């Protein structure tokens, strides 16, 4: 099975150029993009082949306009072109899970336990579970043993049982991972994770979409109790704070009765 390519500027521009839009149902030609970005067709071809480095911010802004990129896509475009600062440009080795767990104090453990039946967990930037309360553990069976949210979606059959909108939630997580790789310039740990996930056909299909997200565009996640089959919803908030050089994330899912309304996550 061929390895998957980490995010790169050429693939992203090509994917956005060739997608169908209301103004260009068959996608844009290189000549059309060149005209819209005030560049030559050969320059676009070199960018898409990966043989051209260092496009200017002015070119990127014109390209984003020509391709009608949304704010997440535009941010990703600049990240891939390395025209934005990143806290990982030099340091690409994350803390270990053991390092992160030293940050979880007894008071923090008491606090998340007291928030049951709401779902609470501490996660690192790679979506490894550092600690969680019993409600979170019960809601996502097998996740604590798997250890990583992204791998859990594809390696654990129970994920499809409890995630009412598995496809949308899995796609969100994959697109978030793509954005993270672009933001941190494809660090070694992320490339290794991409290689691990490439064995799962569903992941490969979602990765091929080149979608990018930097967070949830709406807060509701719809779940099903693994034991009873009861459907319910949680209002999700993710809070991040810096601990040393690295962010620790707190996932809070406020449990609500099932609304009966399904929305993409």
Q: Are 101 and 65 found together in one domain?
A: no
- 237-242's contacts with Cβ under 8 Å and 24+ in sequence apart are none
Nearest in space to 18 (alpha carbons), one of 173, 202, 10:
10
- The pTM (predicted TM-score) of the whole model is 0.89
Domain boundaries, position 157: 97-257
Is-contact 130 148, C-beta < 8 A?
no
User: From the centroid of its chain, how far is CA 179?
Assistant: 6
- pLDDT > 70 in the chain, percent: 94
Q: What span, in angstroms and rounded, lies between the C-alpha atoms of 154 and 149?
A: 9
Are 102 and 139 members of one domain?
yes
Domain count for the chain: 2
> Taking residues 14-42, what's their average pLDDT?
96
Percentage of residues of the chain with pLDDT beyond 90: 80
The verdict on residue 265 lying in a domain is no
The pLDDT value given to residue 53:
74
- Among candidates 120, 111, 72, 114, which has minimal Cα distance to 235? 120
| pLDDT computed for residue 179 by the predictor | 95
Average pLDDT for residues 241-255, to the nearest whole number?
89
Give the tens place of pLDDT for each residue, 82-111.
987 765 555 556 789 999 999 999 999 999
CA angle 1, 146, 168 (to 5 degrees): 70
Q: Do residues 24 and 127 share a domain?
A: no
Reading the block at residue 26, the tokens are: 């068959």
Verify that 104 and 69 share a domain, yes or no: no
My answer on whether 16 and 103 are in the same domain is: no
Sorted by sequence, the CB contacts under 8 Å of residue 145 that are 6+ apart come out as none
**Within-domain flag for 87:** no
Q: Residue 68 falls within a domain, yes or no? A: yes
Residue closest to 119 by CA, chosen among 140, 149, 97: 140
Give me the DSSP letters along 29-80: -HHHHHHHHT--HHHHHHHHHT------HHHHHHHHHHTT--HHHHHHHHHH
Query: Residue 154 corresponds to which tokens in the numbers above?
Result: 């594809």
Is residue 32 assigned to a domain? yes
Query: What does pLDDT average to over the chain?
Result: 91
Do residues 33 and 155 both lie within one domain? no
| Mean pLDDT score, 51-78 | 93
Q: Are 108 and 235 in the same domain?
A: yes
How buried is 23 (Cβ within 10 angstroms: 0-12 exposed, 13-18 middle, 19+ buried)?
A: exposed
Nearest Cα neighbor of 76 from 223, 155, 178, 144 is 178
Helix (H) or strand (E) holding 241: strand 231-243
List, for residues 7-20, the tens digit of each pLDDT value: 999 999 999 999 99
Using an 8 Å Cβ cutoff, are 155 and 193 in contact?
Answer: no
Segment 129-138 mean pLDDT: 98
What's the pLDDT score for residue 28? Answer: 97
110 C-beta neighbours (distance < 10 Å), count: 10
Beta-bridge partner residues of 241: 248
Distance CA 143, CA 158 (A): 9
| Closest listed residue to residue 94, CA positions, set 137, 123, 56 | 123
Residue 2, in any domain of the structure: no
Q: What is the band of 264 on the pLDDT scale with cuts at 50, 70, 90? A: very low
Residues 220, 234 contacting (CB under 8 angstroms): yes
- The pLDDT of residue 87: 53
């Amino acid at each position: 099975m061929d390895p998957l390519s980490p995010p790169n500027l050429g693939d992203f521009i090509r994917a956005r150029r060739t997608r169908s839009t209301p103004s260009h149902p068959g996608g844009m030609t290189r000549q059309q993009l060149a005209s819209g970005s005030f560049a030559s067709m050969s320059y676009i071809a070199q960018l898409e082949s990966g043989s051209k480095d260092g496009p200017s911010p002015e070119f990127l802004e014109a390209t984003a306009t020509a391709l009608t990129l949304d704010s997440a896509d535009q941010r990703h475009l600049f990240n891939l072109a390395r025209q934005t600062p990143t806290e990982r440009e030099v340091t690409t080795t994350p803390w270990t899970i053991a390092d992160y767990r030293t940050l979880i104090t007894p008071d923090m453990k008491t606090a998340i336990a007291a928030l049951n039946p709401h779902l609470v967990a501490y996660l690192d930037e790679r979506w490894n579970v550092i600690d969680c309360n019993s409600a979170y553990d019960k809601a996502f069976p097998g996740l604590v043993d798997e250890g990583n949210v992204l791998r859990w979606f594809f390696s654990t059959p129970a994920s499809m049982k409890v995630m009412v909108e598995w496809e949308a939630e899995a796609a969100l997580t994959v697109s978030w991972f793509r954005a993270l790789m672009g933001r941190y310039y494809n660090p070694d740990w992320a490339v290794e994770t991409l290689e691990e996930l490439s064995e799962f056909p569903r992941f490969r299909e979602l990765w091929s979409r080149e979608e990018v997200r930097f967070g949830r565009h709406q807060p509701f996640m719809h779940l099903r109790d693994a034991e009873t089959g009861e459907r319910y919803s949680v209002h999700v908030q993710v809070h991040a704070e810096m601990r040393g050089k690295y962010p620790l994330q707190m996932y809070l899912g406020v449990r609500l009765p099932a609304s009966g309304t399904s929305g993409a996550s």
